[in-house]
Amino acid sequence: MIADLNDSVEGFRILVGTEVDIRADGKLDYPDQILSQCDVVVASVHSGYNQREMTKRIILAMESEHVNVIGHPTGRKIGEREPYDVDMERVLEAAARTDTAMEINSHPSRLDLNDRWSKRAKEMGVKLAINTDAHSTCGLLAIEYGIKTARRGWLEKKDVLNALSLEDLMKHLNKG
């Protein structure tokens, strides 16, 4: 259905994407045969927050050929949960090596990555993706918080996946 729409509407492209869970062992919760059908895969930790080897877990997920973005990389929820015990410097080094983007989650309870880590990601050549974490259309309005975070981190359009041209985005996703 999506392929049919993409073929029938000129100048418009719908991407197939999913968010997958990073399991405790660093593996993803969807099989490769499903992930290979996606244009973009966001991998995120959703459980096991106190795991001692969180850095290794996230880096292992980035080793997957299918992962394009790490979602809410520090796991913080403002007023609810502190960030994971994760070595962000090592995560960003791995992101640069694997060409994996980091998410700036715009949801007001997350704002994750923050401006400081976003700036550091840029310095290391890591792209970022601004996402609202919306679960309804009203949630899309939170994009302004992600944009403000990106600006505080001195990001420019060229640093943000979803500000790139379609052609440049698809090249980055290794689909173009």
Q: Is residue 132 part of a domain?
A: yes
What's the whole-number mean pLDDT along residues 105-133?
Answer: 96
Q: pLDDT per residue over 45-75, tens digit each?
A: 988 777 678 999 999 999 999 999 999 999 9
Q: pLDDT per residue over 6-35, tens digit each?
A: 889 888 899 999 999 999 999 999 999 999
Q: Would you say residue 124 has pLDDT above 70?
A: yes
Q: Is residue 5 part of a domain?
A: no
Per the structure, the complete domain to which residue 103 belongs is given by: 17-172
What's the whole-number mean pLDDT along residues 92-121?
Answer: 96
Q: Is residue 143 part of a domain?
A: yes
Q: Is residue 11 part of a domain?
A: no
The answer to whether 22 touches 58, Cβ cutoff 8 Å, is yes
Question: What per-residue confidence (pLDDT) applies to 94?
Answer: 97
Q: Is residue 74 part of a domain?
A: yes
Q: Is residue 1 part of a domain?
A: no
Question: What's the domain count of the chain?
Answer: 1
Q: Is residue 12 part of a domain?
A: no
Where does the pLDDT of residue 1 fall: very low under 50, low under 70, confident under 90, or very high at 90 and above?
Answer: confident
Where does the pLDDT of residue 44 fall: very low under 50, low under 70, confident under 90, or very high at 90 and above?
Answer: very high
| Higher pLDDT pick, 166 / 175 | 166
Q: What is the CATH number of the domain that holds 59?
A: 3.20.20.140
**b/e code 36-62 from CB counts within 10 Å (16+ = b):** eebbbbbbbbeeeeeeeebbbbbbbbb
Q: Is residue 9 part of a domain?
A: no
Model confidence, pTM: 0.92
Alpha carbon distance 148, 171 (integer Å): 26
